[in-house]
Amino acid sequence: MTTLQVPTVRAEPNPEIRLVPDLDEIDNPHIRSDIAKFDTVLAQYQSGDVDEEVFRVFRLTNGIYGQRQGGTNQMVRVRMPYGSIDADQLDMLAYVADHYSRGWGHITTRQNLQMHFVQLDKLPEVMRLFGSVDLTTREACGDTVRNIGGCHLAGACPYEVLDISAWAEAANDYFIRNPLGQRLPRKFKINFSGCDTDCGQAMFNDAGVVATSRQLDDGTIEAGFRIYVAGGLGANPHPALALEPFTPKEELLPTLEAIMRVFEQTGNRANKLRARMKWVVDELGWEETQRRVLAQRRMLLASATWPGGIPDAVVRNGDEPAGRGAGDATPVGQGVAVALGARTGFDRWAAANVVRGARNGTVSAYAWCRLGDITSDQFRGVADIVRKYEVEVRATNRQNFILRGLHEAQLAELYLDLAALDMAEPGAELVRDVVSCPGADTCSLALTQSRGLASAIGEALEAHGLAEVAGVRINISGCTNSCGQHHTADIGFFGVERRAHGESLPGYQMLLGGYVGQDQIHFGDKALRVPAKTAPQAAVRVLQRFVEERAPGGSFREWMEAAGGASAIAEGLLDLDAIVPPSDLPDLYVDYDEAAPYVKSVGSSECAT
């Protein structure tokens, strides 16, 4: 059984006093209504008038998960469309983390922010505090249209065809609380990318949107979108498929609604394990799924809520691309090269964490969040930075913050500010930027302590001088569900139970060669299974071979294929899967961050990201 994880709250919470606002003090009427209903239903549940299963579905739709620890411990997930957040909201997250959680929060791979060990009876207070700064947990979980993901560089990327920020905002505004999306067969995910580099990861979502363009008969260029359908990860990953070569701007929201309608009508409601959009394609075939989506879109004009045309958010904020300025633009996306060398800490940070090349001369800089975690002091520190430099900040799907709208002359001072917050580590495109789901720390479905492995891999890379290898990504999930997106990483791990000498021990399946970008996706190929405690050595050995053998400028996948593929590379790691009896090495049978021997423990599914 997993050891109970006791919440670790700051010893001296920030003394700032905040009064929990009354509902009428919250400006957003939709958030007010959500909270009022939550108050009522929670009271009915506590009095026994609403049964457990009904309340479970209700709280999930309101962004509240039960935890592995059971009881009244809850995980609260805040919805941050395309990763957007402001200084006041960061301050509020710090306050809630100190007074209601463990003193820190966690950025998810879908640009949400979540906190753990919030007590059930405190949820109305937390929701009111969030609502006072226009944050909501609504539909961050459940069988709904989840948080709308988007490229964190949108509006600041020198390669983008369109700034997808306003389009992602429009999609969020349209689908949140939309009656059509409240009781779907399963979760439904939408992501936006501004170009085919696909930093927004459109290629493995139920509906993925990539900005593109086409040349018209008169020679002019029209910007629009290419929409991908039915991608997904999990135990059975599926690549998304292009619905049509080009979708005009005016048809974007109707197309997304048409995809959702087909899912609502044909998704498998009898079996949650086969209820995602990817299974609709498996059941109907791609041509029939495509036909139904386009037929739905064609007739949507008759709907009372037809969402066609240019949305208000786009009219208000625009979608012009950042454009490329003079000089070289910083490469972005998976597999980019970063030149570091033996220079100052600032030089190394600027080489790895700063993106240059936008037409208006501004630059963007990553604030590194180790394992996606942000302490309350870091929340407040980033809020201060946003105000001091008058910039904006977004969360990335690699679990960092990025500061946008900076000027070159501000970088040296910004580096010192981030260093004081322990957020200036060079990492955004380096291998030390390990991505992990929460794992068995809090998740009922996790088989292993994925966060512990992520820390151990990071320490091993540092010890072997490999932490600043560029162009390689490591992702870890605590089970097959891929909340850590292990399928898409150059080196991926997902948690498994191993058995040897009559005992269970924590283990991982290693995958190699995952890649997303340029309108394509490669899922990682299985290499081998290893005990959890030897997985860091496996990562180190693979990276060491890559560094020694790769062709100049070559990608990880190119090296892997030249080396004979994942299975051939695995042959050099077989000794790491030699499992000795527990009497010889008892630590092998204990997971990271645990004290007792490993026992497989899996609860009921409320999965997830």
What is the predicted pLDDT for the residue at 95? 97
Q: Residue 266's closest CA among 226, 293, 297?
A: 293
Close Cβ partners of 336 (under 8 Å, ≥ 6 residues apart): 429, 470, 471
Q: Where are the alpha helices (DSSP H) in 302-420?
A: 312-317, 345-353, 376-389, 411-420
What is the predicted pLDDT for the residue at 444? 87
pLDDT in tens, 510-537: 999 999 999 889 999 999 999 999 999 9
Q: Residue 198's closest CA among 160, 224, 167?
A: 160
Can you say whether residue 449 is alpha, beta or left, with left for phi > 0 and alpha for psi between -120 and 50 degrees? beta
> Is residue 337 predicted with pLDDT exceeding 90?
no
130 vs 32: CA distance, rounded Å: 11
Per the structure block, which two tokens stand in for 8? 């670790």
pLDDT in tens, 202-249: 999 999 999 999 999 999 999 999 999 999 999 999 999 999 999 999
Which residue has better confidence, 580 or 428? 580
Note whether 230 and 278 are within 8 A (CB). yes
Q: Residue 265's closest CA among 208, 188, 203?
A: 188
Per the structure block, which two tokens stand in for 79? 């919805």
242 vs 257: CA distance, rounded Å: 16
Strand 113-119: give its sheet, edge to edge.
64-66, 73-78, 113-119, 104-107, 373-375
Does residue 222 sit in helix, strand or coil? strand
Pairing of strands 525-531, 503-512: antiparallel
Strands (E), 140-271: 149-150, 190-193, 207-215, 221-229, 241-242
598 vs 603: CA distance, rounded Å: 16
> Is residue 574 predicted with pLDDT exceeding 70?
yes
Say if residue 597 is exposed, middle or buried (CB neighbours under 10 Å; 0-12, 13-18, 19+): middle
Residues comprising the chain, all counted: 609
pLDDT in tens, 244-285: 999 999 999 999 999 999 999 999 999 999 999 999 999 999
Which residue, chain included where needed, has tokens 């879908």?
A: 110
> Is residue 4 predicted with pLDDT exceeding 80?
no
